[in-house]
Structure 1
Amino acid sequence: MKLELAQTIRHYNKKDLPGDILAGIIIMAVSIPISMGYAQIAGLPAVYGLYGSVFPILFFALFSTSPQFIFGVDAAPAALVGSALISLHVESGSNEALAVVPVLTLFVALWLLAFYFMRAGKLVNYISAPVMGGFITGICTTIILMQLPKLMGGTAGTGEFLELAEHIAKEAASINLPSVALGVSALVILLLSKKFMPKFPMAVVLMAAGAVMTRVLPVREWGIQTLAAVEPGLPAWSFPDLTVIPIKEAVTISLSVAVVIMAETLLAENNFAQKNGYRINDNQEILAFSAGNFVAAFTGCCPINGSVSRTAMGEQYQGRTQLTGIVAGGSMIVLLLCGTGFIGYLPVPVLTAIVISALLGATEFELAVRLFKVSRTECLIFAGAFFGVLFLGTINGVLIGIILSFTEMIIRTAKPARCFLGIQPGHRHFRDLKEGSQIHAIEGVLIYRFSSNLFFANIQVLERDIEDALQKDTKAVILDASGIGSMDITAADRLGSLYQSLKKKGIRFYMTEHIAELNEQLRKLGLGYMIEEGSVRRTIHIALKDMEIRRPYPLAGGVDNEERSASRKRADNRVQEFVWAFGSDTEAQIEKQILKQIEQLKKDGNVEELLHGRWSHMEALDKDEWLEHLEEHLKEIVNISGKDEKTLAMQFEAHRREVYERIAKEHPELAKRFQERRHKLDEHLKQRRPEVYELVVRLREENQL
Structure 2
Amino acid sequence: MSRRSSIAPEWLFHYEKQWARADIVAGLTAAAVVIPKSLAYATIAGLPVQAGLYTACVPMIVYAFTGSSRALSVSTTTTLAILAANALSATVGGDDANALAAASATLTMLVGLMLVAAAVLRLGFVANFISEPVLVGFKAGVAIVIVMDQLPKLFGMHYPKGSFFHNVGAFVADLPHLSATTLALALLTLAALVLLERFVPRAPAPLIVVAAAIIAVALFGLRAHGIETVGAVPAGLPSWTQPDLPLALKLWPDALGIALMSFTESIAAARAFARNDEPAPDANRELLATGLANAGGALLGAMVAGGGTSQTAVNRQAGARSQLAGLVTALVALAVMLLFAPLMASMPHATLAAVVVFYSIGLFSPAEFHAILKVRRTEFVWAVTACAGVVLLGTLEGIVVAIIVSLFALAHQVSDPPVYALRRIPGTNVFRRDSSKHPDDEAFPGLLLLRPEGRIFFVNAERVAEKIRPLVRESGAKIVVLDLSRVFDVEYTALKMMIEADARLAANGTTLWLAGLNPGVLAAVRRSPLGERLGQTRMFYNLEHVVIKYQEIVSRNGDDAARR
Structure 1 residues 33 and 524 mapped into 2: Cα distance closer, same or farther (>3 Å)?
same
Task: Provide the rounded CA distance (Å) in 2 between the counterparts of 1:319 and 1:391.
Answer: 41
Could you tell me which amino acid in structure 1 is paired with residue 66 of structure 2? F
Q: Contact between 2:111 and 2:304, CA under 8 Å: does it hold in 1?
A: no
Q: Which residue of 2 aligns with 1:311?
A: 311
Deviations 1:492-549 (A, max 9, x none): 2111111122234443211112322211233455533256343222112323444562
Task: Provide the rounded CA distance (Å) in 2 between the counterparts of 1:96 and 1:414.
Answer: 49
The reply on whether 1:260 has 2:257 as its aligned counterpart is yes
Structure 1 residues 119 and 48 mapped into 2: Cα distance closer, same or farther (>3 Å)?
same
| 1:334 Cα offset (Å) | 1.4
Q: Write out aligned runs for 1:115-134 (5 A).
A: 115-134=118-137
Tell me the secondary structure at the aligned position of residue 449 of structure 1: strand
Task: Provide the rounded CA distance (Å) in 1 between the counterparts of 2:325 and 2:366.
Answer: 27
Among candidates 517, 537, 545, match of residue 540 of structure 2: 537
Q: Which residue of 2 aligns with 1:345?
A: 346
Could you tell me which amino acid in structure 1 is paired with residue 351 of structure 2? V
Q: Which residue of 1 aligns with 2:30?
A: 23
Deviations 1:187-210 (A, max 9, x none): 122113212321123333322222
Tell me the secondary structure at the aligned position of residue 165 of structure 1: helix
Tell me the secondary structure at the aligned position of residue 224 of structure 2: coil
Q: Which residue of 2 aligns with 1:204?
A: 207
Deviations 1:581-617 (A, max 9, x none): xxxxxxxxxxxxxxxxxxxxxxxxxxxxxxxxxxx9x
Q: Contact between 1:23 and 1:317, CA under 8 Å: does it hold in 2?
A: no
Task: Provide the rounded CA distance (Å) in 1 between the counterparts of 2:53 and 2:174.
Answer: 26
Could you tell me which amino acid in structure 2 is paired with residue 140 of structure 1? A
The reply on whether 1:510 has 2:510 as its aligned counterpart is no
| 1:165 Cα offset (Å) | 2.5
The reply on whether 1:381 has 2:378 as its aligned counterpart is no
Could you tell me which amino acid in structure 2 is paired with residue 71 of structure 1? S
Q: Which residue of 2 aligns with 1:365?
A: 366
Q: Write out aligned runs for 1:290-439 (5 A).
A: 290-299=291-300, 301=301, 303-306=303-306, 308=308, 311=311, 314=314, 318=318, 320=320, 322-323=323-324, 325-423=326-424, 426-434=427-435, 435-439=437-441
Task: Provide the rounded CA distance (Å) in 2 between the counterparts of 1:356 and 1:380.
Answer: 26
Task: Provide the rounded CA distance (Å) in 2 between the counterparts of 1:367 and 1:184.
Answer: 27
Task: Provide the rounded CA distance (Å) in 1 between the counterparts of 2:556 and 2:416.
Answer: 31
Q: Contact between 1:27 and 1:314, CA under 8 Å: does it hold in 2?
A: no
Among candidates 72, 88, 93, match of residue 68 of structure 1: 72
Among candidates 449, 452, 455, match of residue 450 of structure 1: 452
Structure 1 residues 520 and 287 mapped into 2: Cα distance closer, same or farther (>3 Å)?
same
Structure 1 residues 528 and 203 mapped into 2: Cα distance closer, same or farther (>3 Å)?
same
Among candidates 481, 494, 502, match of residue 491 of structure 1: 494
Structure number with greater Rg is 1
**RMSD, aligned CA:** 3.5
Could you tell me which amino acid in structure 2 is paired with residue 370 of structure 1? A
User: Kindly, what percent of the aligned residue pairs are identical?
Assistant: 23
Could you tell me which amino acid in structure 2 is paired with residue 454 of structure 1? I
Task: Provide the rounded CA distance (Å) in 1 between the counterparts of 2:557 and 2:444.
Answer: 6
Q: Contact between 1:423 and 1:431, CA under 8 Å: does it hold in 2?
A: yes
Q: Which residue of 2 aligns with 1:223?
A: 226
Structure 1 residues 426 and 153 mapped into 2: Cα distance closer, same or farther (>3 Å)?
closer
Q: Which residue of 1 aligns with 2:39?
A: 32
| 1:184 Cα offset (Å) | 0.8
Structure 1 residues 329 and 17 mapped into 2: Cα distance closer, same or farther (>3 Å)?
closer
Among candidates 187, 211, 216, match of residue 213 of structure 1: 216
Could you tell me which amino acid in structure 1 is paired with residue 330 of structure 2? G
Deviations 1:227-258 (A, max 9, x none): 2111222123365565xx3xxx52x3342133
Deviations 1:160-204 (A, max 9, x none): 533543553465342111111111122122113212321123333
Could you tell me which amino acid in structure 2 is paired with residue 453 of structure 1? R
Tell me the secondary structure at the aligned position of residue 453 of structure 1: coil
| 1:83 Cα offset (Å) | 1.2
Deviations 1:63-99 (A, max 9, x none): 333423432382312431331234xxxx542545555
| Stretch moving more, 524-533 or 479-488 | 524-533
Q: Write out aligned runs for 1:445-484 (5 A).
A: 445-455=447-457, 456-457=459-460, 458-471=463-476, 474-484=477-487
| Stretch moving more, 305-314 or 105-114 | 305-314
Task: Provide the rounded CA distance (Å) in 2 between the counterparts of 1:197 and 1:28.
Answer: 19
**Structure 2 gaps, min length 5:** none
Task: Provide the rounded CA distance (Å) in 2 between the counterparts of 1:85 and 1:406.
Answer: 33
| 1:380 Cα offset (Å) | 0.9
Query: TM-score, normalising length from structure 1?
Result: 0.68
Deviations 1:429-471 (A, max 9, x none): 4344434332232132111222333234332234314432342
Q: Contact between 1:312 and 1:361, CA under 8 Å: does it hold in 2?
A: no
Q: Which residue of 1 aligns with 2:117?
A: 114
Could you tell me which amino acid in structure 1 is paired with residue 31 of structure 2? G
Q: Contact between 2:495 and 2:530, CA under 8 Å: does it hold in 1?
A: yes
Structure 1 residues 495 and 27 mapped into 2: Cα distance closer, same or farther (>3 Å)?
same
| 1:124 Cα offset (Å) | 1.5
Could you tell me which amino acid in structure 1 is paired with residue 393 of structure 2? L
Report how many aligned residue pairs link the two structures: 541
The reply on whether 1:83 has 2:96 as its aligned counterpart is no
Q: Contact between 1:309 and 1:359, CA under 8 Å: does it hold in 2?
A: no
Q: Contact between 1:149 and 1:172, CA under 8 Å: does it hold in 2?
A: no
Task: Provide the rounded CA distance (Å) in 2 between the counterparts of 1:302 and 1:360.
Answer: 25
Structure 1 residues 313 and 358 mapped into 2: Cα distance closer, same or farther (>3 Å)?
farther
Tell me the secondary structure at the aligned position of residue 240 of structure 2: coil
Task: Provide the rounded CA distance (Å) in 2 between the counterparts of 1:531 and 1:133.
Answer: 48
Q: Contact between 1:140 and 1:363, CA under 8 Å: does it hold in 2?
A: yes
Task: Provide the rounded CA distance (Å) in 2 between the counterparts of 1:337 and 1:57.
Answer: 17
Task: Provide the rounded CA distance (Å) in 2 between the counterparts of 1:55 and 1:465.
Answer: 64
Deviations 1:251-281 (A, max 9, x none): x334213312222123323443565466533
Structure 1 residues 515 and 47 mapped into 2: Cα distance closer, same or farther (>3 Å)?
same
| 1:373 Cα offset (Å) | 2.6
Task: Provide the rounded CA distance (Å) in 2 between the counterparts of 1:324 and 1:190.
Answer: 25
| Stretch moving more, 309-318 or 166-175 | 309-318
Task: Provide the rounded CA distance (Å) in 2 between the counterparts of 1:194 and 1:408.
Answer: 37
Tell me the secondary structure at the aligned position of residue 511 of structure 1: strand
Task: Provide the rounded CA distance (Å) in 2 between the counterparts of 1:306 and 1:385.
Answer: 21
Q: Contact between 2:512 and 2:538, CA under 8 Å: does it hold in 1?
A: yes
The reply on whether 1:272 has 2:274 as its aligned counterpart is no
Tell me the secondary structure at the aligned position of residue 397 of structure 1: helix
Task: Provide the rounded CA distance (Å) in 2 between the counterparts of 1:490 and 1:226.
Answer: 66
Could you tell me which amino acid in structure 2 is paired with residue 404 of structure 1? V
Structure 1 residues 11 and 175 mapped into 2: Cα distance closer, same or farther (>3 Å)?
farther
| 1:211 Cα offset (Å) | 2.1
Q: Contact between 1:104 and 1:253, CA under 8 Å: does it hold in 2?
A: no
Structure 1 residues 433 and 238 mapped into 2: Cα distance closer, same or farther (>3 Å)?
closer
Task: Provide the rounded CA distance (Å) in 2 between the counterparts of 1:501 and 1:78.
Answer: 61
Task: Provide the rounded CA distance (Å) in 2 between the counterparts of 1:520 and 1:414.
Answer: 24
Q: Which residue of 2 aligns with 1:684?
A: none
Q: Contact between 1:140 and 1:309, CA under 8 Å: does it hold in 2?
A: no
